[in-house]
Amino acid sequence: MNLRRPNANEATGSVNRSRSVVPMSGLCTACHDGCTGGCEIFLATMRGRELLYPQNFGEITAGADKDYPVDYSHLNIQGYAVGAEGLPEGVEPGPDTALFPRVSTETEYGWDKKVKMKMPIFTGALGSTEIARRNWEHFSVGAAISGVTLVCGENVCGIDPALELTSGGKVAKSPEMDRRIETYNRYHTGFGEILVQMNVEDTRLGVAEYVLDKHGLQTIELKWGQGAKCIGGEIKVKTLDRALEL
């Protein structure tokens, strides 16, 4: 049994010609000689590079659509009243006081230095991709006013077209990194934080020192083995000149 439909997916702009498809391969049950259909196998022979990335790259987010034989609709929660916890101090539990809007979702993390959060939520890492750059402002503002922790992904400085380096090859100025941190901090209310994720290249560029010295950031996330994530860590550039700059 195959829990997904291979060989055709909107993320790659591919479709099957037939409604009858072999589950194991994704091929049409009747695969015609000379077919000019739009399945991934056909497109790979003609326009293979376009199938390496979800389309339109830089304008969408994409995820797996596996059709597991179990979902949340199979779960039933049989609840019953057993009292009330978490009410403000001095409030007696009762039908007029134990109301769901009064539930606190605040939490904290850390050992020596605690970070308070209004909700136990971390964002995904939005790094050097074009879709992350274009959507950073409203995403970071939303995280800041919601009191959750925002993760700035890797390689932001590395692909910044306005990046300036010291004579020793370290980051001297990165307007894009500055913009990301300053946007979040402008609306930060004391809950959550912004942390910067770094790969090996970021470490060599001295990104940790840059965000600490210029912005006073106290939290970073170090990564190893990024290549294990298939196309993870890759970006697309529109010109060869831009690729050589990176």
pLDDT at 226 over 90: no
Q: If you write DSSP's letter for every residue of the chain in order, what string do you get?
A: --SS-TT--GGGT---SSS-B-TTT--BSS--TT-----HHHHHHHHGGGGSS-SSTTT---------S--GGG-----------SPPTTPPPSTTT--GGG----EEE-SSS-EEESSS-EEEEE-SSHHHHHTHHHHHHHHHHHT-EEEE-TTTTTT-TT-EE-TTS-EEE-HHHHHHHHHHHHT--SSS-EEEEE-HHHHHHTHHHHHHHHH----EEE---GGGGTTTT----SSHHHHHH-
Average pLDDT taken over every residue of the chain: 86
pLDDT digits (tens, 9 = 90+) for 122-166: 998 888 888 889 899 999 999 999 999 999 999 999 989 999 999
- Per-residue model confidence as pLDDT tens digits over 57-83: 777 777 777 777 888 888 888 776 677
pTM of the full structure: 0.73
Per-residue pLDDT at 92: 87
Give me the mean pLDDT over the 6-28 stretch.
89
Greatest mean pLDDT range, 151-155, 233-237, 238-242: 151-155
Domain ranges for the chain, please list them.
1-66, 104-245
